[in-house]
Amino acid sequence: MTNPKHVYELLLDYCDTDAVVDNVVIGLVWTLCQSQHGTGLAMSPHFSTRTLPWSGDLVGKPLKDLAAWILAWQPHQASVAMSAINSCLNNRPLPDSVALDNTAPHPNLAVFDYFLPQLQGKKVVVIGHYPNIEKYQDLMHLHVLEKQPVGDDLPDSACEFLLPQADWVFLTASSLVNKTFPRLAQLSTNAKTVLMGATTPWLPQLHEFGIDYLAGVEVIDPQALFHTVAQGGGVRIFNHGLRYRVAELTPQNSMTWLKQQIADCAAQRTELKTEMENWYATGNAKRFPKYQLLEQVSSRLARLDSSYKPLWDTYGNV
């Protein structure tokens, strides 16, 4: 396995911002973060607690401080962090993707309906129990893995046995929050792998981890989404404020997406460098106030270039 922290370093690259937190809600099912960049979601932990030491103190804090909690092992901290990261990523251009219908009877299952023609008769493993997923049981060889199994679910430890043999793997993005993503992605390299759910980050480097598709969400009504989450909404978020989008991470699509991100990042770095030159040109002897931000942007640009180059070397002339 490559460095398991790498994916988290990539996620944190996108929180190189001076923005502060406008609002945080830890709902029964979803955790939501709002900032000037947008709205981000993550699945809430499956248990409640009365001892969070920071409740009531998060609004106004730097967004990047909350994002740094993604490396924490306390589940509520990690969920808040993922929602903060997604609030940053959701403000950036999405890749070429297909918007899915959110008016069907079970819009939370729209991703499975989209892929259904390719799944029939295949060995399909779904990480995480999606309400009503059992309706596909007779159409494919379906196994659902869950930390807290219900019905015919299998325990998550079955991943070591089932994922290497699967044709398709649908991997909940909550695995990023609970830190199981690196191992699950490694076990799924023989399968077509879909990273899915409202927690999914629109991260252009996810092809590096063997992810073939992103099935993330697009926020289309932030206010409706906020109220639905705050009022305990589970699957209702999928037709109250957002909808699924599916992006195939082919080499060409990934290169196009990365190229756009590289251009945006390079422009941001140029702007900061110009600010720094003007800062020192006016006689300031103190350190440029945005120097740390400049370093973070430069680091993100280097990682984007490192992700783009192998794709270009292999597929650039195809």
Question: How far are the Cα atoms of 95, 135, 233 from residue 77, in angstroms, in the given order?
Answer: 29, 34, 20
pLDDT of residue 233: 87
pLDDT, average across residues 143-150: 92
Amino acid (one-letter) located at 70: I
Q: How confident is the model at residue 104 (pLDDT cuts 50, 70, 90)?
A: confident
For the chain, give the longest Cα–Cα distance. Answer: 73
* Annotation: CATH topology of 6-89: Enolase-like; domain 1 (3.30.390)
Q: Is the pLDDT of residue 93 over 90?
A: no
Residue 38: which of 80, 83, 87, 81 has the closest Cα? Answer: 87
Q: Is the pLDDT of residue 1 over 60?
A: no
pLDDT of residue 103: 87
- What pTM value is reported for the model? 0.94
pLDDT in tens, 235-267: 999 988 999 999 999 999 999 999 999 999 999
123-127, 147-151, 168-172, 314-318: lowest mean pLDDT where?
314-318
pLDDT, average across residues 56-60: 95
Q: Are the CB atoms for 90 and 38 separated by under 8 Å? A: yes
Residue 168: which of 108, 106, 110, 111 has the closest Cα? Answer: 111
Q: Which two tokens stand for residue 167?
A: 């044709």
- When the pLDDT of each residue in the chain is averaged and rounded to a whole number, the result is 94
CA distance 14 to 205: 12
For the structural domain made of 98-221+238-253, what CATH number should be given?
3.40.50.11590
pLDDT, average across residues 142-169: 95
CA angle 110, 111, 114 (to 5 degrees): 85
Residue 250: which of 187, 315, 300 has the closest Cα? Answer: 315
Q: Tell the residue number behind the tokens 């199994």, with chain if given.
A: 149
**What are the residue ranges spanned by the domains of the chain?**
6-89, 98-221+238-253, 260-315
Q: Tell the residue number behind the tokens 């926020």, with chain if given.
A: 219
Residue 264, number of CB atoms within 10 A of its CB: 14
pLDDT, average across residues 59-68: 96
pLDDT in tens, 5-18: 999 999 999 998 88
pLDDT, average across residues 55-74: 96
State CA 309 to chain mean position distance. Answer: 23
CA distance 129 to 143: 10
How many CA within 13 A on the CB side of residue 223?
Answer: 0
pLDDT in tens, 25-47: 999 999 999 999 999 999 999 88
Q: Cα-Cα-Cα-Cα dihedral of 36, 92, 6, 258, to 10°?
A: -160
Contacting residues for 47 by C-beta, under 8 A, at least 6 apart: 75
Q: Are strands 30-35 and 123-127 parallel, antiparallel or unpaired?
A: unpaired
pLDDT in tens, 198-237: 999 999 999 999 999 999 999 999 999 999 999 998 899 9
Residue 131, number of CB atoms within 10 A of its CB: 10
pLDDT of residue 317: 74
How many CA within 13 A on the CB side of residue 255?
Answer: 13
